[in-house]
């Protein structure tokens, strides 16, 4: 059918809402960390569908899980539960601090559930006055109106009418500002342990400790948005596991389904009691197909072999980027953790991250940006070493072209 219709990039402009501006390339097939477009041109994937394709494209374990479940049961809704959902929830509870799991379809929905739970918990336990949510500049928590208002980038939430109230934004990693802001009115502090969209900015140890201590002091909940950092991305199942603190609520999506839409909100039994029957829901949440794939993802990712492999691959990419930088002097630093890495442009190349992205595509490499000054890399957690080496070579060619002008 697609051949008969002659589907092209121009067709996008004819039939799609213009909120995206996709590349001219239309991929049609993927295998591991390689992707091919309509013309058969090959790309190495350092983008991973924005930290989603944690096992690359068409990983045999995921294909098998989806096709096997597809022969059994597709959908029930939450009028009934199902075996894949129970299995995945059990795995998540056994592998984390959490006692209870709520399933949704996307990171925004998981974050929406987390924020609603925090507000309801505070209302039930402390009264209507305790409703303030503290979040951080450059944070990103999704595109629903509540989550985009909590996110710290006003450009994404402006222009849609009155915003949800009682949301305070503070500078990230500023302990003094946090100490001054948190009060008994605060119901939750929401943050990414490593800001993704905001520029690959890690939370400092001191800041994390202050978040936890101040939340405890004022009976507020700590919400960790691990939509991008979760499922092995930083070399741990979740990034909080490599910090000194434990959140009260954690959200997970993106890589949880390895490319199949699924999300989860994790919390403790005591906090979970405040989402009693009827308070929140999702038609597709806990879908058997999605949960079957999620189980297969965890089966591969939550192993010492994969998690240690992430750290080795991080080292390879860091060293490669440092070599490129020694030659062309375009980056001020390489930051991030595991396979969520950002090459920060120096003063000479400010505002030009997209130029590096476009040049990369032209050289057969899929990469990302994190704002105007950071080139972002979020490849598969199991990307083969030869693909890393060749991808870096293609990126070097892209850098050379940008530098040459």
**For 104-124, what is each residue's pLDDT tens digit?**
999 999 999 999 999 999 999
Q: Is 225 a catalytic residue?
A: yes
Q: Which residues are annotated as a binding site for pyridoxal 5'-phosphate?
A: 107-108, 140, 225-228, 283
Residue 309: how many CA atoms within 13 Å on its side-chain side?
18
Under DSSP, the state recorded for 368 is E
C-alpha span between 404 and 398 (Å, rounded): 10
Q: What does the pLDDT look like over 126-157, one tens digit per residue?
A: 999 999 999 999 999 999 999 999 999 999 99
Q: Are 72 and 105 in contact (CB under 8 A)?
A: no
Q: How many C-beta atoms surround the C-beta of residue 356 within 10 A?
A: 23
Pairing label, strands 263-267, 365-366: unpaired
C-alpha span between 118 and 109 (Å, rounded): 14
| CATH of the domain spanning 73-301 | 3.40.640.10
pLDDT at residue 328 is higher than 80: yes
C-alpha span between 235 and 195 (Å, rounded): 16
| CATH of the domain spanning 2-58+304-404 | 3.90.1150.10
pTM of the model: 0.96
> Radius of gyration of the chain from Cα atoms?
21
Sheet holding 186-191, edge to edge: 100-104, 263-267, 249-252, 221-225, 186-191, 132-136, 167-170
**Exactly one of 103, 140, 172, 260 is catalytic; which is it?**
140
Q: How many C-beta atoms surround the C-beta of residue 155 within 10 A?
A: 7
Please give the average per-residue pLDDT across 55-74, as a whole number.
98
Q: Which residues are annotated as a binding site for N(2)-acetyl-L-ornithine?
A: 143, 282
Pairing label, strands 27-31, 331-337: unpaired
Q: How many C-beta atoms surround the C-beta of residue 18 within 10 A?
A: 7
C-alpha span between 358 and 233 (Å, rounded): 25
Give me the residue spans of the domains in the chain.
Answer: 2-58+304-404, 73-301
**Percent of the chain beyond pLDDT 70?**
99
Q: Where residue 246 falls among pLDDT bands split at 50, 70, 90?
A: very high
Pairing label, strands 221-225, 186-191: parallel
pLDDT at residue 4 is higher than 80: no
Q: Are 237 and 96 in contact (CB under 8 A)?
A: yes
Cα–Cα separations (whole angstroms), residue 346 to 59, 288, 294, 334: 37, 47, 39, 11
SS3 103: strand
pLDDT at residue 42 is higher than 70: yes
**Environment class of 378 (CB within 10 Å of its CB; exposed 0-12, middle 13-18, buried 19+):** buried
Under DSSP, the state recorded for 244 is S
C-alpha 15: how far from chain center = 28
**Exactly one of 225, 331, 337, 356 is catalytic; which is it?**
225
pLDDT of res. 1: 44
Q: Are 137 and 173 in contact (CB under 8 A)?
A: no
Please give the average per-residue pLDDT across 295-302, as a whole number.
98
Q: What does the pLDDT look like over 374-404, one tens digit per residue?
A: 999 999 999 999 999 999 999 999 999 999 9
Please give the average per-residue pLDDT across 162-190, as a whole number.
98
Q: Are 62 and 293 in contact (CB under 8 A)?
A: yes
Please give the average per-residue pLDDT across 229-253, as a whole number.
98
In angstroms, how far apart are the furthest CA atoms of the chain? Answer: 64
Q: Is 254 a catalytic residue?
A: yes
pLDDT of res. 5: 80
**Environment class of 122 (CB within 10 Å of its CB; exposed 0-12, middle 13-18, buried 19+):** buried
The angle subtended at Cα 195 by Cα 380 and Cα 31, nearest 5°, is 15
pLDDT of res. 2: 46
Tell which residue, 188, 190, 193, has the closest CA to residue 208.
193
Q: Please provide the size of the chain in residues.
A: 405
Please give the average per-residue pLDDT across 7-25, as a whole number.
94
**Exactly one of 43, 224, 254, 356 is catalytic; which is it?**
254
- The 3-state DSSP composition of the chain as helix, strand, coil percent (nearest 5) reads 45, 20, 40
Please give the average per-residue pLDDT across 5-9, as a whole number.
91
Q: Which residues are annotated as a binding site?
A: 107-108, 140, 143, 225-228, 282-283
């Amino acid at each position: 059918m697609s051949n008969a219709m002659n589907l092209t990039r121009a067709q996008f402009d004819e039939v799609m809402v213009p909120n995206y501006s996709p590349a001219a390339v239309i991929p049609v097939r993927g295998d591991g960390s390689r992707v091919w477009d309509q013309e058969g041109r090959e790309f190495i994937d350092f983008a991973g569908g924005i930290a989603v394709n944690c096992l690359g494209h068409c990983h045999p374990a995921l294909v098998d899980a989806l096709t096997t479940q597809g022969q059994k049961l597709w959908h029930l809704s939450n009028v009934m539960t199902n075996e894949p959902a129970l299995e995945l929830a059990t795995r998540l509870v056994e592998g984390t601090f959490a006692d209870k799991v709520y399933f949704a379809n996307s990171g925004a929905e998981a974050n929406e559930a987390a924020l609603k739970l925090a507000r309801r918990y505070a209302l039930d336990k402390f009264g209507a006055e305790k409703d303030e949510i503290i979040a951080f500049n450059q944070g990103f928590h999704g595109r629903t109106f509540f989550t985009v208002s909590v996110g710290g980038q006003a450009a994404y939430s402006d222009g849609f009418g009155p915003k949800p109230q009682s949301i305070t934004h503070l500078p990230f990693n500023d302990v003094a500002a946090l100490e001054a802001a948190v009060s008994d009115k605060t119901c939750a502090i929401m943050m990414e342990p490593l800001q993704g969209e905001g520029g690959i900015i890690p939370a400092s140890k001191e800041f994390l400790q202050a978040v936890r201590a101040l939340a405890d002091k004022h009976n507020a909940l700590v919400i960790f948005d691990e939509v991008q950092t979760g499922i092995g991305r930083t070399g741990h199942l979740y990034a909080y596991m490599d910090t000194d603190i434990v959140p009260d609520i954690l959200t997970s999506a993106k890589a949880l389904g390895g490319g199949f839409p699924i999300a989860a909100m994790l919390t403790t039994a005591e906090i979970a009691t405040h989402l009693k029957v009827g308070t929140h829901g999702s038609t597709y949440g806990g879908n058997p197909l999605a949960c079957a794939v999620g189980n297969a993802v965890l089966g591969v990712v939550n192993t010492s072999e994969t998690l240690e492999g992430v750290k080795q691959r991080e080292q390879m990419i860091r060293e490669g980027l440092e070599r490129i930088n020694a030659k062309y002097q375009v980056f001020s630093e390489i930051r991030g953790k595991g396979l969520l890495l950002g090459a920060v442009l120096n003063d000479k190349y400010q505002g030009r991250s997209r130029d590096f992205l476009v040049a990369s595509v032209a050289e057969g490499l899929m990469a990302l940006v994190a704002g105007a000054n950071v080139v972002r890399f979020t490849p598969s957690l199991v990307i083969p070493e030869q693909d890393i080496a060749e991808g870096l070579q293609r990126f070097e060619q892209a850098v050379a072209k940008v530098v040459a002008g």
